[in-house]
Structure 1
Protein backbone atom coordinates (compact mmCIF):
# COMPACT_ATOMS: atom_id res chain seq x y z
CA UNK A 1 0.00 0.00 0.00
CA UNK A 2 2.90 2.30 0.72
CA UNK A 3 3.95 2.32 -2.95
CA UNK A 4 0.55 3.34 -4.30
CA UNK A 5 0.33 6.58 -6.22
CA UNK A 6 -2.61 8.41 -4.65
CA UNK A 7 -4.54 10.93 -6.73
CA UNK A 8 -7.29 13.24 -5.38
CA UNK A 9 -10.10 13.90 -7.85
CA UNK A 10 -12.73 16.64 -7.52
CA UNK A 11 -16.41 15.88 -7.18
CA UNK A 12 -18.69 17.89 -9.43
CA UNK A 13 -18.26 19.45 -12.84
CA UNK A 14 -14.50 18.86 -13.12
CA UNK A 15 -14.72 15.17 -12.31
CA UNK A 16 -15.47 13.68 -15.73
CA UNK A 17 -12.74 15.66 -17.50
CA UNK A 18 -10.29 14.82 -14.72
CA UNK A 19 -10.89 11.09 -15.16
CA UNK A 20 -10.58 11.44 -18.94
CA UNK A 21 -7.22 13.21 -18.61
CA UNK A 22 -5.84 10.36 -16.52
CA UNK A 23 -7.21 7.72 -18.89
CA UNK A 24 -5.63 9.50 -21.87
CA UNK A 25 -2.32 9.44 -20.01
CA UNK A 26 -2.55 5.66 -19.72
CA UNK A 27 -3.69 5.26 -16.11
CA UNK A 28 -6.25 2.63 -15.18
CA UNK A 29 -9.50 4.37 -14.25
CA UNK A 30 -11.72 1.29 -13.90
CA UNK A 31 -14.82 2.01 -11.83
CA UNK A 32 -14.32 5.74 -11.60
CA UNK A 33 -17.22 6.56 -13.89
CA UNK A 34 -19.65 4.08 -12.42
CA UNK A 35 -22.60 5.44 -10.45
CA UNK A 36 -21.18 4.91 -6.98
CA UNK A 37 -20.88 6.67 -3.66
CA UNK A 38 -17.44 5.23 -3.03
CA UNK A 39 -14.89 7.84 -2.04
CA UNK A 40 -11.77 5.67 -2.33
CA UNK A 41 -10.85 3.40 -5.25
CA UNK A 42 -7.78 1.22 -4.84
CA UNK A 43 -6.14 -0.75 -7.62
CA UNK A 44 -3.13 -2.49 -6.13
CA UNK A 45 -2.25 -4.22 -9.38
CA UNK A 46 -1.92 -0.84 -11.12
CA UNK A 47 -0.36 0.73 -8.02
CA UNK A 48 -3.04 3.42 -7.86
CA UNK A 49 -5.45 4.86 -5.33
CA UNK A 50 -8.02 7.52 -6.09
CA UNK A 51 -9.66 9.75 -3.49
CA UNK A 52 -12.90 11.45 -4.54
CA UNK A 53 -13.52 14.62 -2.52
CA UNK A 54 -14.77 18.17 -2.54
CA UNK A 55 -12.65 20.42 -4.78
CA UNK A 56 -11.99 22.80 -1.89
CA UNK A 57 -10.49 19.95 0.15
CA UNK A 58 -8.04 18.77 -2.50
CA UNK A 59 -5.26 21.29 -1.73
CA UNK A 60 -5.34 20.17 1.92
CA UNK A 61 -5.20 16.46 1.02
CA UNK A 62 -2.22 17.14 -1.25
CA UNK A 63 -0.37 19.55 1.05
CA UNK A 64 -0.46 17.08 3.95
CA UNK A 65 0.47 14.09 1.81
CA UNK A 66 -2.84 12.20 1.99
CA UNK A 67 -2.69 12.43 -1.81
CA UNK A 68 0.44 12.59 -3.95
CA UNK A 69 -1.32 14.36 -6.81
CA UNK A 70 -4.58 16.24 -7.20
CA UNK A 71 -6.68 17.91 -9.86
CA UNK A 72 -8.24 21.20 -8.79
CA UNK A 73 -9.20 24.60 -10.18
CA UNK A 74 -6.69 27.43 -10.21
CA UNK A 75 -9.30 29.53 -8.39
CA UNK A 76 -9.10 27.21 -5.38
CA UNK A 77 -5.30 27.10 -5.52
CA UNK A 78 -5.01 30.89 -5.44
CA UNK A 79 -7.64 31.36 -2.74
CA UNK A 80 -6.16 28.78 -0.37
CA UNK A 81 -2.47 29.45 -1.07
CA UNK A 82 -1.37 26.00 0.12
CA UNK A 83 2.19 24.70 -0.13
CA UNK A 84 1.80 22.73 -3.38
CA UNK A 85 3.62 22.17 -6.64
CA UNK A 86 1.49 23.30 -9.59
CA UNK A 87 2.51 21.07 -12.48
CA UNK A 88 0.15 21.26 -15.47
CA UNK A 89 -2.56 23.54 -16.83
CA UNK A 90 -5.18 20.96 -17.89
CA UNK A 91 -7.08 23.48 -20.06
CA UNK A 92 -10.58 22.57 -18.92
CA UNK A 93 -12.91 24.02 -16.30
CA UNK A 94 -12.37 27.57 -17.57
CA UNK A 95 -13.79 30.37 -15.49
CA UNK A 96 -12.76 33.88 -14.54
CA UNK A 97 -12.79 36.00 -11.42
CA UNK A 98 -14.71 39.23 -11.84
CA UNK A 99 -15.86 42.24 -9.88
CA UNK A 100 -19.58 42.71 -10.53
CA UNK A 101 -21.99 45.51 -9.71
CA UNK A 102 -25.77 45.89 -9.97
CA UNK A 103 -26.80 47.03 -13.46
CA UNK A 104 -28.31 50.23 -12.06
CA UNK A 105 -24.98 51.39 -10.63
CA UNK A 106 -22.53 49.85 -13.10
CA UNK A 107 -23.09 52.01 -16.18
CA UNK A 108 -20.12 54.26 -16.83
CA UNK A 109 -18.59 53.55 -13.45
CA UNK A 110 -14.93 52.84 -12.78
CA UNK A 111 -13.95 50.42 -10.01
CA UNK A 112 -11.89 53.14 -8.31
CA UNK A 113 -15.14 54.96 -7.54
CA UNK A 114 -16.04 52.17 -5.12
CA UNK A 115 -13.30 52.76 -2.57
CA UNK A 116 -14.35 52.20 1.06
CA UNK A 117 -17.33 50.09 -0.01
CA UNK A 118 -18.37 46.55 0.90
CA UNK A 119 -17.74 43.54 -1.31
CA UNK A 120 -19.30 40.09 -0.84
CA UNK A 121 -17.44 36.98 -1.98
CA UNK A 122 -16.70 33.31 -1.39
CA UNK A 123 -13.05 34.15 -2.11
CA UNK A 124 -11.90 36.69 0.50
CA UNK A 125 -8.18 36.25 -0.16
CA UNK A 126 -8.57 36.83 -3.89
CA UNK A 127 -10.75 39.88 -3.25
CA UNK A 128 -8.49 41.39 -0.60
CA UNK A 129 -5.37 40.92 -2.74
CA UNK A 130 -7.02 42.42 -5.79
CA UNK A 131 -8.27 45.56 -4.08
CA UNK A 132 -5.01 45.98 -2.17
CA UNK A 133 -3.10 45.91 -5.45
CA UNK A 134 -5.48 48.57 -6.76
CA UNK A 135 -4.72 50.72 -3.72
CA UNK A 136 -8.30 50.48 -2.52
CA UNK A 137 -9.69 49.86 0.94
CA UNK A 138 -12.85 47.76 1.03
CA UNK A 139 -14.69 45.71 3.61
CA UNK A 140 -14.75 42.10 2.46
CA UNK A 141 -17.74 40.05 3.60
CA UNK A 142 -17.34 36.29 3.21
CA UNK A 143 -20.40 34.31 2.18
CA UNK A 144 -20.72 30.61 1.38
CA UNK A 145 -23.29 30.77 -1.38
CA UNK A 146 -25.75 32.95 -3.33
CA UNK A 147 -23.49 35.95 -3.14
CA UNK A 148 -25.53 37.51 -5.96
CA UNK A 149 -28.10 38.29 -3.25
CA UNK A 150 -25.74 40.59 -1.36
CA UNK A 151 -26.18 43.74 -3.50
CA UNK A 152 -29.93 43.13 -3.87
CA UNK A 153 -30.51 43.20 -0.10
CA UNK A 154 -28.01 45.96 0.70
CA UNK A 155 -25.42 43.73 2.32
CA UNK A 156 -22.70 44.75 -0.15
CA UNK A 157 -22.15 47.20 -2.97
CA UNK A 158 -20.43 44.70 -5.25
CA UNK A 159 -19.30 41.09 -5.44
CA UNK A 160 -16.20 39.16 -6.44
CA UNK A 161 -17.07 35.80 -7.94
CA UNK A 162 -16.09 33.25 -10.58
CA UNK A 163 -18.11 33.09 -13.78
CA UNK A 164 -17.96 30.98 -16.92
CA UNK A 165 -20.85 32.10 -19.13
CA UNK A 166 -22.04 35.06 -17.04
CA UNK A 167 -25.59 33.73 -17.05
CA UNK A 168 -26.02 33.85 -13.26
CA UNK A 169 -24.90 37.48 -13.19
CA UNK A 170 -27.39 38.44 -15.89
CA UNK A 171 -30.22 36.62 -14.16
CA UNK A 172 -29.52 38.66 -11.03
CA UNK A 173 -29.13 42.01 -12.82
CA UNK A 174 -25.39 42.17 -12.18
CA UNK A 175 -22.67 43.32 -14.57
CA UNK A 176 -18.99 42.36 -14.53
CA UNK A 177 -16.95 45.56 -14.75
CA UNK A 178 -13.46 44.20 -13.99
CA UNK A 179 -11.75 40.89 -14.75
CA UNK A 180 -9.31 39.79 -12.03
CA UNK A 181 -7.83 36.66 -13.62
CA UNK A 182 -8.81 33.54 -15.52
CA UNK A 183 -8.66 30.04 -14.06
CA UNK A 184 -8.61 26.45 -15.36
CA UNK A 185 -8.08 23.05 -13.75
CA UNK A 186 -4.50 22.24 -12.73
CA UNK A 187 -2.62 19.13 -11.68
CA UNK A 188 -0.81 19.68 -8.39
CA UNK A 189 1.59 17.60 -6.34
CA UNK A 190 2.76 17.19 -2.79
CA UNK A 191 6.36 18.41 -2.64
CA UNK A 192 7.72 15.39 -0.77
CA UNK A 193 5.83 12.93 -2.97
CA UNK A 194 7.20 14.60 -6.07
CA UNK A 195 10.73 13.81 -4.90
CA UNK A 196 10.11 10.35 -3.47
CA UNK A 197 7.86 9.15 -6.31
CA UNK A 198 9.51 11.12 -9.07
CA UNK A 199 10.02 8.06 -11.27
CA UNK A 200 6.25 7.51 -11.37
CA UNK A 201 5.04 11.09 -11.30
CA UNK A 202 7.31 12.69 -13.90
CA UNK A 203 6.42 10.36 -16.81
CA UNK A 204 2.75 10.87 -16.01
CA UNK A 205 3.15 14.65 -15.99
CA UNK A 206 5.02 14.60 -19.30
CA UNK A 207 2.31 12.48 -20.91
CA UNK A 208 -0.45 14.75 -19.58
CA UNK A 209 1.40 17.81 -20.90
CA UNK A 210 1.67 16.24 -24.35
CA UNK A 211 -2.01 15.38 -24.36
CA UNK A 212 -3.27 18.82 -23.35
CA UNK A 213 -0.74 20.90 -25.27
CA UNK A 214 -2.91 21.56 -28.33
CA UNK A 215 -6.33 21.34 -26.71
CA UNK A 216 -8.57 24.38 -26.66
CA UNK A 217 -9.40 25.83 -23.27
CA UNK A 218 -12.95 24.83 -22.40
CA UNK A 219 -15.47 25.41 -19.65
Structure 2
Protein backbone atom coordinates (compact mmCIF):
# COMPACT_ATOMS: atom_id res chain seq x y z
CA UNK A 1 0.00 0.00 0.00
CA UNK A 2 1.51 3.30 -1.13
CA UNK A 3 0.83 6.08 1.36
CA UNK A 4 0.84 9.62 -0.03
CA UNK A 5 0.97 12.09 2.84
CA UNK A 6 -0.23 15.64 2.24
CA UNK A 7 1.97 18.17 4.03
CA UNK A 8 1.86 21.92 4.49
CA UNK A 9 5.31 23.40 3.84
CA UNK A 10 8.42 21.51 4.93
CA UNK A 11 7.85 21.34 8.69
CA UNK A 12 6.44 17.82 8.97
CA UNK A 13 8.22 16.26 5.99
CA UNK A 14 11.06 14.58 7.97
CA UNK A 15 8.57 13.30 10.54
CA UNK A 16 6.10 11.74 8.09
CA UNK A 17 8.90 10.16 6.05
CA UNK A 18 10.31 8.63 9.23
CA UNK A 19 6.83 7.25 9.96
CA UNK A 20 6.50 5.58 6.57
CA UNK A 21 5.28 8.06 3.97
CA UNK A 22 6.00 6.71 0.49
CA UNK A 23 5.15 9.91 -1.38
CA UNK A 24 4.65 13.55 -0.39
CA UNK A 25 2.02 15.90 -1.73
CA UNK A 26 3.56 19.32 -1.11
CA UNK A 27 1.19 22.23 -0.50
CA UNK A 28 0.86 25.53 1.26
CA UNK A 29 -2.33 26.86 2.84
CA UNK A 30 -4.14 23.60 3.53
CA UNK A 31 -6.99 25.51 5.17
CA UNK A 32 -7.87 26.69 1.64
CA UNK A 33 -7.42 23.22 0.16
CA UNK A 34 -3.76 23.65 -0.77
CA UNK A 35 -1.88 26.16 -2.89
CA UNK A 36 1.60 26.31 -4.43
CA UNK A 37 4.51 26.61 -2.01
CA UNK A 38 7.34 29.14 -2.21
CA UNK A 39 10.56 28.56 -4.13
CA UNK A 40 12.50 27.89 -0.93
CA UNK A 41 10.00 25.37 0.42
CA UNK A 42 9.86 23.56 -2.91
CA UNK A 43 13.62 23.36 -3.33
CA UNK A 44 14.39 22.23 0.22
CA UNK A 45 11.56 19.67 0.26
CA UNK A 46 12.37 18.19 -3.15
CA UNK A 47 16.05 17.85 -2.25
CA UNK A 48 15.27 16.32 1.15
CA UNK A 49 12.82 13.83 -0.31
CA UNK A 50 15.20 12.87 -3.10
CA UNK A 51 17.90 12.12 -0.54
CA UNK A 52 15.43 9.86 1.26
CA UNK A 53 14.15 8.13 -1.90
CA UNK A 54 10.63 9.55 -1.49
CA UNK A 55 8.64 11.03 -4.37
CA UNK A 56 7.24 14.57 -4.28
CA UNK A 57 4.02 15.68 -5.98
CA UNK A 58 3.87 19.49 -5.90
CA UNK A 59 0.57 21.34 -5.84
CA UNK A 60 0.07 23.82 -8.69
CA UNK A 61 -2.75 26.08 -7.55
CA UNK A 62 -2.53 29.89 -7.46
CA UNK A 63 -5.23 30.49 -4.84
CA UNK A 64 -7.97 28.96 -2.75
CA UNK A 65 -11.61 29.07 -3.74
CA UNK A 66 -13.02 27.57 -6.90
CA UNK A 67 -11.12 25.95 -9.75
CA UNK A 68 -12.23 28.26 -12.54
CA UNK A 69 -9.16 30.29 -13.45
CA UNK A 70 -8.64 33.41 -15.53
CA UNK A 71 -6.01 33.86 -18.22
CA UNK A 72 -3.46 35.41 -15.85
CA UNK A 73 -4.00 32.67 -13.25
CA UNK A 74 -3.37 29.99 -15.86
CA UNK A 75 -0.16 31.80 -16.77
CA UNK A 76 0.87 31.76 -13.10
CA UNK A 77 0.20 28.02 -12.95
CA UNK A 78 2.28 27.42 -16.07
CA UNK A 79 5.21 29.35 -14.64
CA UNK A 80 4.97 27.59 -11.29
CA UNK A 81 4.81 24.22 -13.02
CA UNK A 82 7.95 24.87 -15.08
CA UNK A 83 9.67 26.19 -11.97
CA UNK A 84 9.06 23.10 -9.81
CA UNK A 85 9.82 20.84 -12.78
CA UNK A 86 13.22 22.50 -13.04
CA UNK A 87 13.71 21.98 -9.29
CA UNK A 88 13.23 18.24 -9.78
CA UNK A 89 9.72 17.49 -8.54
CA UNK A 90 8.52 14.01 -9.49
CA UNK A 91 5.07 15.23 -10.34
CA UNK A 92 2.44 17.93 -10.06
CA UNK A 93 -1.08 18.09 -8.68
CA UNK A 94 -3.50 20.40 -10.47
CA UNK A 95 -6.97 20.84 -11.91
CA UNK A 96 -8.88 23.43 -13.92
CA UNK A 97 -12.64 23.60 -14.47
CA UNK A 98 -14.88 25.75 -16.62
CA UNK A 99 -17.99 27.62 -15.55
CA UNK A 100 -20.20 24.71 -16.63
CA UNK A 101 -18.74 22.24 -14.16
CA UNK A 102 -16.56 20.41 -16.67
CA UNK A 103 -12.81 20.11 -17.17
CA UNK A 104 -11.34 23.23 -18.75
CA UNK A 105 -9.78 21.25 -21.56
CA UNK A 106 -7.90 24.16 -23.10
CA UNK A 107 -6.25 25.17 -19.82
CA UNK A 108 -5.48 21.57 -18.89
CA UNK A 109 -3.99 20.77 -22.29
CA UNK A 110 -1.57 23.69 -21.98
CA UNK A 111 -0.50 22.63 -18.51
CA UNK A 112 -0.14 18.98 -19.47
CA UNK A 113 2.12 19.91 -22.37
CA UNK A 114 4.45 21.61 -19.91
CA UNK A 115 4.20 18.69 -17.48
CA UNK A 116 5.55 16.12 -19.94
CA UNK A 117 8.02 13.88 -18.13
CA UNK A 118 6.25 14.35 -14.79
CA UNK A 119 3.50 12.37 -13.11
CA UNK A 120 0.24 14.32 -12.97
CA UNK A 121 -2.56 14.04 -10.43
CA UNK A 122 -5.87 15.77 -11.09
CA UNK A 123 -6.82 16.96 -7.62
CA UNK A 124 -10.14 17.31 -5.80
CA UNK A 125 -11.40 19.79 -8.37
CA UNK A 126 -12.76 16.48 -9.70
CA UNK A 127 -15.36 16.49 -6.94
CA UNK A 128 -16.66 19.84 -8.20
CA UNK A 129 -17.39 18.40 -11.65
CA UNK A 130 -21.08 17.78 -12.22
CA UNK A 131 -21.79 14.11 -11.39
CA UNK A 132 -23.18 13.46 -14.86
CA UNK A 133 -19.89 14.63 -16.36
CA UNK A 134 -17.49 12.77 -14.08
CA UNK A 135 -17.14 9.58 -16.08
CA UNK A 136 -16.49 11.58 -19.24
CA UNK A 137 -13.85 13.46 -17.23
CA UNK A 138 -12.20 10.18 -16.23
CA UNK A 139 -11.98 9.26 -19.92
CA UNK A 140 -10.50 12.64 -20.89
CA UNK A 141 -7.88 12.61 -18.15
CA UNK A 142 -6.83 9.03 -18.92
CA UNK A 143 -6.59 9.80 -22.64
CA UNK A 144 -4.36 12.81 -21.91
CA UNK A 145 -1.83 10.92 -19.81
CA UNK A 146 -2.90 11.92 -16.30
CA UNK A 147 -1.75 9.22 -13.86
CA UNK A 148 -4.34 9.59 -11.13
CA UNK A 149 -7.42 11.39 -9.83
CA UNK A 150 -7.55 12.48 -6.19
CA UNK A 151 -11.16 12.34 -5.03
CA UNK A 152 -13.27 12.23 -1.91
CA UNK A 153 -16.11 10.63 -3.83
CA UNK A 154 -18.50 13.42 -2.87
CA UNK A 155 -18.67 16.77 -1.07
CA UNK A 156 -15.88 17.24 1.48
CA UNK A 157 -18.51 17.89 4.14
CA UNK A 158 -19.44 14.20 3.94
CA UNK A 159 -17.49 11.42 5.62
CA UNK A 160 -15.52 9.34 3.14
CA UNK A 161 -17.27 6.24 4.47
CA UNK A 162 -20.50 7.67 3.04
CA UNK A 163 -18.94 7.83 -0.42
CA UNK A 164 -17.61 4.30 -0.82
CA UNK A 165 -20.30 3.32 -3.32
CA UNK A 166 -19.44 6.25 -5.59
CA UNK A 167 -15.71 5.64 -5.20
CA UNK A 168 -16.23 2.00 -6.21
CA UNK A 169 -18.05 3.23 -9.32
CA UNK A 170 -15.09 5.46 -10.24
CA UNK A 171 -12.61 2.63 -9.67
CA UNK A 172 -14.64 0.16 -11.73
CA UNK A 173 -15.06 2.64 -14.57
CA UNK A 174 -11.39 3.66 -14.53
CA UNK A 175 -10.52 -0.03 -14.92
CA UNK A 176 -6.78 0.49 -14.42
CA UNK A 177 -6.49 3.06 -17.22
CA UNK A 178 -6.09 5.74 -14.53
CA UNK A 179 -5.57 5.46 -10.76
CA UNK A 180 -8.38 6.59 -8.47
CA UNK A 181 -6.72 7.96 -5.32
CA UNK A 182 -9.20 8.34 -2.43
CA UNK A 183 -8.55 11.11 0.06
CA UNK A 184 -10.16 13.44 2.55
CA UNK A 185 -10.90 12.01 5.97
CA UNK A 186 -8.75 8.88 5.74
CA UNK A 187 -6.74 8.38 8.93
CA UNK A 188 -4.78 5.61 10.62
CA UNK A 189 -8.06 4.61 12.32
CA UNK A 190 -10.09 3.92 9.18
CA UNK A 191 -7.27 3.28 6.70
CA UNK A 192 -7.49 -0.52 6.77
CA UNK A 193 -11.27 -0.70 6.44
CA UNK A 194 -11.39 1.80 3.57
CA UNK A 195 -8.53 0.31 1.59
CA UNK A 196 -10.02 -3.16 2.03
CA UNK A 197 -13.47 -2.02 0.94
CA UNK A 198 -12.11 -0.30 -2.16
CA UNK A 199 -9.28 -2.73 -2.97
CA UNK A 200 -6.90 0.12 -3.76
CA UNK A 201 -3.11 0.27 -3.88
CA UNK A 202 -2.61 3.99 -3.17
CA UNK A 203 -4.10 6.19 -0.46
CA UNK A 204 -3.87 9.91 0.37
CA UNK A 205 -4.22 11.87 3.58
CA UNK A 206 -2.68 14.14 6.20
CA UNK A 207 -3.06 11.56 9.01
CA UNK A 208 -2.38 8.18 7.41
CA UNK A 209 0.94 7.50 9.15
CA UNK A 210 1.62 7.37 12.90
TM-score using structure 1 length: 0.28
Greater helix fraction, Structure 1 or Structure 2: 2
TM-score (norm: length of structure 2): 0.29
Structure with higher RCO (Cα < 8 A, 6+ apart)? 1
More strand by share: 1
- Structure exhibiting the larger radius of gyration computed from Cα positions: 1
